[in-house]
Structure 1
Amino acid sequence: MKPAFFALNILLSCHFAAWATNEEHALPLIKLAINAMDAGYFSEPGNLRITQTAQGENPTAATIEIEKDLADDAIAIEKTVFTLHRKNDVWVIDTQATTFKCREGRGHQTFSPACCQ
């Protein structure tokens, strides 16, 4: 296991009671999203940005965005967006969508599911 992934995994293994009420099987939102990613996604080093958005004091919906800079000749950044909702005090993933931002001259410069050239 790579050191950076190991550290991230240790950090996310802690119990965060704020994300669910007394449900031992409930996961923090970020760990829930990371567990849904392909096993090899975090094996390559690179810049990684994770953003969590949830509104209000006791949110029932949230969004997690995971962006990774790629060492690819066509794709600059891959972004996966998760939408989640709380059901019976446990967070569940509603959708997972991956989009790409191409390198200059290789296609679209905004995030899109379309392939880069």
Structure 2
Amino acid sequence: MEIPKFSLLFYVHLFHIFIIGAFLLYIGIAKTNMPQFMYKVIFIVGILIFLAHVYKAIIKYGQPKSYLWVNLFHIFVVAPVLLIIGWYGEKTPYYYFHFDLMLAFAAIGYHGFFLTKELL
């Protein structure tokens, strides 16, 4: 029996569902009931997401099927929410945790849909 070969996007979908989705769900559910070090982790993840997607947006700009919108979404929506939560910590306005939950459900739903599509 041959092991099926999956595309890189397959693993991107899995990563976003099980790692990123779970991370965002934890933040949104725990809100300010997290250990203090988690705010630093969230802030660092926000910086990494911002830098990675700025780099990808610059490198792939103008290429066909560059999915620039994905990079812009991460730069202008995902990274700022994480940076704000990480920066303000326990003093973060509650609605940022609601934004975070929306991002969690969006990531799980979006990537779950395309993962299912790839498997069928």
Regarding TM over 0.5, the answer is no
Q: TM-score, normalised by structure 1?
A: 0.27
Q: TM-score, normalised by structure 2?
A: 0.26
User: Which is richer in strand?
Assistant: 1
User: Which is richer in helix?
Assistant: 2
Identify the structure with bigger relative contact order (alpha carbons < 8 Å, sequence gap 6+): 2
